Structure 1
């Protein structure tokens, strides 16, 4: 993989990319102090076809927003089984870091196209109740995004398998505390993500055709990606 730290680029040139990603667009609009902290701890990554982004069994502090290309999630628990596909505008790698566990799967670049990613070092987020670098609102924003994307994938599964108990198990999870920004909300999202991740891991191993179970997302535009590649490659 090749990478360049974001702070080598003028922040105003990167703002259109930030605006195309839900978590960053919220920071740009409401929490610029958080955005500045992450700007100093983020990088643009280019990975070749077949190259590993994340390796099962390892510990590291990076998570990724996919800007272009397609990633494959490989589980080694049941042999080398492809259990997930990651497309542009999706986030990958955050769960293991949030819960301080080793990577549970390997993530590689799928197909014949390079992958372009925005990599973020989770270190500034610190411990759950540490707000010295990233605010409470910034942490909740990231957790809501991870929960939303995980639940969207589970609901896509449920739509394809309406006679399973998945919908019932999702409904059994505690309800969200509303649009609040306090420690109770932070802890709620933290534990909800853990419960959703356990369901996702269980269901991933039952799938046969992964393309059927991908929730829709809106990737960054080609014009934005072309501009970013021009910045990256000069």
Structure 2
């Protein structure tokens, strides 16, 4: 983005903030309505459906991962609480106020090209997360559902592509929420594997 359009990059930066969290601090609270989407830059975050550090751990967020996107796409309150994990000294998050994008069909202040980059990335990330679930549960009825959500095959760099990417992302987000409900709590084996990989 910085190379393609420095002005658009600056606009996104103005709508962003970088926040550091100490172990146990809440990044996202279940039930809240929020216009912020997040990207973990450094550290590790723990995801809980119920009370943090007391209830079952659902998942970890590791550097490079986007989170907070599902609630935005489906228009509902946050479905989990995310806290800075106890095993790291500090976690650093980039937060983007997605209100800067405005209505989907608006091209000011955020251009069509920027929105296309955003939603291409969104759809790609969601498909990747669903492929991870699929690889772990090949026989599950949900395993191939995301492959039935049609890709866009029309003219690139158009509003029609943007509309398609938005619809794909929303459908993928709903499907990911189904998977999360089905396999929300990490098993002890998975937790042990993830912990040993981190250390």
TM-score by length of 1: 0.71
* Kept in 1: contact 2:33–2:76 (CA 8 A): yes
Cα offset, 1:213, TM superposition: 10
Superposed displacement of residue 195, structure 1: 1.2
1:218 aligns with none
Residues 96-175 of structure 1 aligned to structure 2 (within 5 Å):
96-113=71-88, 114-175=90-151
Q: Deviations for 1:9-40, whole angstroms, at most 9, x for unmatched residues?
A: xxxxxxxxxxxxxxxxxx11212221110121
C-alpha distance in structure 1 between counterparts of 2:98 and 2:193, whole Å: 28
**Residue 92 (structure 1) aligned with residue 67 (structure 2):** yes
Which 4+ runs in 1 deviate beyond 4 A? 210-214
2:27 matched residue in structure 1: 53
Tell me the alpha carbon deviations over residues 33-81 of structure 1, each in whole angstroms, 9 at most, x when there is no partner: 21110121211100111111111221222111111111122224xx954
Q: Contact between 1:34 and 1:138, CA under 8 Å: does it hold in 2?
A: yes
CA displacement 1:77-115 (0-9 Å, x = unmatched) = xx9543332110111113323444322221111233221
Q: CA RMSD in A?
A: 2.4
Deviation at 1:212, TM superposition (A): 9.5
2:15 pairs with 1:41: yes
Q: Is contact 2:73–2:173 with CA below 8 Å preserved after alignment?
A: no
Unaligned runs of 5+ in 2: 195-199
Q: 1:108 to 1:175 in 2, by over 3 A?
A: same
- In the comparison of the two structures, how many residue pairs are matched? 186
State TM-score, norm by structure 2: 0.82
